[in-house]
Amino acid sequence: MTQASVIGGDRLVVPDVLRGVALFAMLVAHAKPFLVDLPAAVTFAMGSLNDLASPLFALVMGLSAQILAQRTPDTGLLRLLVQQWIRGAVLIALGIWLSSWGSWVAIVLSYLGLLLVVGAPLLLLSTRWLAAVAVAIAVVSEPLNSWAQATLRPIVVPDPALTELASWAVLGGHYRLTNLLPFFLLGALLMRHGFRRDRMLWAMAVAAPLAYVVGPLLAKLAGAGPFVSGSYPDTLHDVGLVFAVYIAVVLLANVQAPGAARVIGVMFEPFRALGAVALSLYLLHVALLAFWLQPGYGFAEDDWLRWSAIVVGVFVVAWVWWRFIGVGPVEWLLGWVTGRPKKLRRALTPA
């Protein structure tokens, strides 16, 4: 049995590792303001991690939602949908709450909550139709975003509630449903296909660098600056990053040589820990950033201590909690709220 199969009870290792990578990317991006004097190469790497985080989170949400759908009999699908809608509503509420804390973080939870509310019912479609919907949404995303900026924004601005909802859907400066939903549906399609080292994975390996360079190449040819978030080149850039990480994790997870598999298992463990308690850690790091963002606090020089607390410290907290307790406290509460209770302590089986 490969690492891509069931490991440690009923959990699949690939989604947890991918979720952990996404959270790590977000931690690095959110801690970047603590470092004001960085080499260009480091700034570029941190910028790539920032670009990776949200589409990879959306992909993993699609993977996870498809796992639940596959494990649910037809008679329980309506109940599952209601549970997913409740989960989405809780994420939206958490996102609104965290946005009031006063950190510099562009909170993604409300966007992911709406993504789950809209995306979960689409998983009832056949694979062919699901792929068609994913492609169609990706194709219409840029013109729809442009229309919303020109036409919808003036209409909703007078109403704060409508403005917020429109921001989650199409007007967001950093995230929006129109660009996250194709990644969510792609995650579901990849879960249906399975984490296999096959022709599709190699096709993704060819597509990843081509998609990644489209934006910089067009910008150079046109003499323009970076493309706006949500444009086709920006989306292809995200596709390249997400594909690259997915391919790397799946290839490593399918290594069968015992010695190499053990080494990879050790490498994976901290990311599995991050992925398993990601929501709790998201709240924790936003709370730390909000606490440190006091009036008069400046960033005239690098603050490696606070940067390390966010990036390294949260990593350590994740590993200790996951290793010795298991389910994160927020994940545990969310399980009870949505009617899918989890045991707080997991069975400590060897990886």
Helix, strand, coil share of the chain (percent; to 5):
75, 0, 25
Residue with tokens 């820990």: 273
pLDDT in tens, 244-294: 999 999 999 999 899 999 999 999 999 999 998 999 999 999 999 988 876
Q: How many CA atoms lie within 13 A of 317 on its CB side?
A: 18
What is the greatest pairwise CA distance in the chain?
A: 62
Most confident of 44-48, 136-140, 297-301: 136-140
Q: Domain ranges in the chain?
A: 13-337
Within 8 A by CB and 6+ apart from 328, the residues are 276, 277, 278, 279, 280, 281, 321, 322
The pLDDT value recorded for residue 226 is: 63
Q: How far is CA 81 from CA 9, 42, 103, 130, in A?
A: 24, 42, 33, 17
Residue 303 pLDDT greater than 50, yes or no: yes
Q: Write down the pTM of the prediction.
A: 0.90
Q: 62 is written with which tokens?
A: 């699609």
**74-78, 150-154, 290-294, 330-334: least confidently modelled range:** 290-294
Cα angle 264-270-273, degrees, rounded to a multiple of 5: 120
Within 8 A by CB and 6+ apart from 25, the residues are 49, 50, 52, 53, 56
